Amino acid sequence: MSPASATSTPPKPLGAGRPKDLGKGAAILDAAKRLFTAQGFDGTSMDQIAAEAGVSKLTVYSHFGDKDALFFAAVSAKCEELLPPELFMAEHLQGPLCAQLTSIARAFFALITSDEALSMHRMMLTQSSDLHVREMFWKAGPQRVQEAFAAFVQARADAGELEVPDVRRAASQFFCLLKGELHMRMASGLCCAPDACDLDAHINATVDLFLRAHATR
């Protein structure tokens, strides 16, 4: 407890009792995640990241080679953070099919219209970073969600509740409808989140169209 004369491990560098190197590395990665998702790639400087992490700029360069590598690491970590492993599908599997779809739709729409997800979507459209980042994001983000939903649709089709010729395409269409023009307007900053009334109308219209096309009579 008492600060002795010579301890090889410094008493309290930043946060909890984590080892020193990992503590700084984690602080840098955390700051990079916050700033990149808030301001984009070009809008975020290495000075900002170093200041936000409470370290010097050269420490950032010593932990991650350059800006591109740090960006890749930050986007990877953010993808894992935004997508919980259960993919929030399990908790919605009760009640009639219409209610299940509505519940899934509400959860997905809330996810993709969160500030963080909108920022990620914006960043992936800037050609600032190289192709590997975008490929990684696509596989870790939208593709995983879409495949989970496709599995759900396939199960309902096997149970005879849905009639779907192409399951993957139907899942893709469902998500495109769900995004709608609202997603683009929010991504470009033209409007904020819709109120409860508009949100319900949008969700219901999406589920309606999907069921009218694929529900077995």
Partner DNA sequence: GTCTATATAGCGATAGAC
Partner DNA sequence: GTCTATCGCTATATAGAC
Asked if 20 interacts with DNA (CB under 7 A), we say yes
Residue 148 near its own copies by CB under 8 A: no
Rounded to whole angstroms, the Cα distance separating 78 from 90 reads 22
Sign of CA dihedral 58, 60, 62, 64: negative
Dist CA 2 CA 108 (whole Å) = 51
| Binding of residue 132 to its own copies (CB under 8 A) | no
DSSP state string for 82-137: HS-TTTTTGGG--S-HHHHHHHHHHHHHHHHTSHHHHHHHHHHT-TTS-HHHHHHH
Q: Are 72 and 140 in contact (CB under 8 A)?
A: no
| Interface segment toward its own copies; rule CB under 8 A; list 16-24, 44-52, 61-69, 138-146 | 138-146
173 binds its own copies (CB under 8 A): yes
By beta-carbon proximity to its own copies, the closer residue of 16 and 192 is: 192
d(CA 37, CA 122): 9
Q: Please report whether residue 21 would count as binding DNA according to CB under 7 A.
A: yes
- Range in contact with its own copies (rule: CB under 8 A) among 47-55, 74-82, 106-114, 125-133: 125-133
Question: By rule CB under 7 A, what string of x and - marks binding of each residue 61-90 to DNA?
Answer: xxx--xxx----------------------
User: What is the distance between the alpha carbons of residues 140 and 83, in angstroms, rounded to a whole number?
Assistant: 8
Which residues form the interface with DNA (CB under 7 A)? 20-21, 24, 44-48, 55-59, 61-63, 66-68
Which residues form the interface with its own copies (CB under 8 A)? 40, 42-43, 121-122, 124-128, 131, 134-135, 138, 142, 146, 166, 169, 172-173, 175-177, 179-181, 184-185, 187-190, 201, 205-206, 208-209, 212-213
